[in-house]
Amino acid sequence: MRVVIAEDNALLREGMILLLTSAGHEVVAAAVTGPEVLPAILRHRPDVAVLDVRLPPGLRDEGLLAALAARREIPGLPVLVLSQYVEETYAAELLSGGANGIGYLLKDRVGRIDEFLDALERVAGGGTALDPEVVTELLTRRRDDPLDSLTPRERQVLKLMAEGHDNATIAGTLVVTERAVSKHIGNVFAKLGLPPSDSGHRRVLAVLAYLHRS
């Protein structure tokens, strides 16, 4: 897998390069500032880009803006955005154009190597990878919609779905059967007014679309 990285922290940047290289991936470019990102992506056309939200010169949202610009230039470009803190506005803006090939993780997650690599590969494959803390924020801050009608178990299932997990993983995490998970998912979609689907990926996208609907 060919990867473009954008991270101004030298230690984290070199650590990710070493990690990805050791895992058999190729880091084709490593940007440090916001203006470097888009040219690097357009030049190398990577399989996935890993971008810090805040990059020089302003250390505000340069990485996020670069991610959005890159996906406009290369529709469907898989992008995994890293953030120091849960920033709901950034997550919502990133997902507003569709959740295919999108990831939003807290930087602490990079240190959990297996989780980080799994998220990266999921995003590169066109899937979704949202940090559990980001999902929690998105779920708890919405107070004026049918989410309030979900049972605690249904909210747990929705949270795990939004993180990108399949039915088997959800069943293992909650220590229930896959049949029970399917039933909970059916209840979630019924209460949220979303049509059920046999595709785990489409279910995640539908839930995310609902969560981020204005």
Query: Is a pLDDT exceeding 70 seen at residue 4?
Result: yes
Domain residue limits at 74:
2-131
pLDDT band with cut points at 50, 70 and 90 for residue 6: very high
State the residue for tokens 């953030």.
83
| More confident site: 190 or 160 | 160
pLDDT band with cut points at 50, 70 and 90 for residue 213: very low
SS3 call for 114: helix
Contacts of 64 (CB under 8 A, 6+ apart): 51, 53, 81, 90, 93, 94
Question: 190 with 125, same domain?
Answer: no
**Torsion (CA) 86, 107, 98, 36 in degrees, nearest 10:** 120
Query: Is a pLDDT exceeding 70 seen at residue 203?
Result: no
Percent above pLDDT 70 for the chain: 79
What is the CATH number for 206? Answer: 1.10.10.10
Query: Is a pLDDT exceeding 70 seen at residue 209?
Result: no
CB 71, CB 42: distance < 8 Å: no
What is the CATH number for 117? Answer: 3.40.50.2300
Query: Is a pLDDT exceeding 70 seen at residue 193?
Result: no
Query: Is a pLDDT exceeding 80 seen at residue 122?
Result: yes
State the average pLDDT for the chain: 83
Question: 28 with 124, same domain?
Answer: yes
Among 121, 119, 120, 155, CA closest to 139? 155
* Last residue within a domain, chosen from 86, 102, 131: 131
Give the chain's domain count: 2
Query: Is a pLDDT exceeding 90 seen at residue 17?
Result: yes
Query: Is a pLDDT exceeding 70 seen at residue 35?
Result: yes
pTM above 0.75, yes or no: no
pLDDT at 188: 81
Taking the CA atoms of 28, 82, 103 and 60 in sequence, report the sign of the dihedral they define: negative
Question: 37 with 107, same domain?
Answer: yes
| More confident site: 94 or 200 | 94
DSSP 192-205: HT----S-HHHHHH
DSSP state of 163: T
Give the span between the Cα atoms of 116 and 81, in whole angstroms: 12
Q: Minimum mean pLDDT among 44-48, 109-113, 122-126, 208-212: which range? A: 208-212
DSSP state of 9: -
* Last residue within a domain, chosen from 131, 162, 182: 131
Query: Is a pLDDT exceeding 50 seen at residue 214?
Result: no
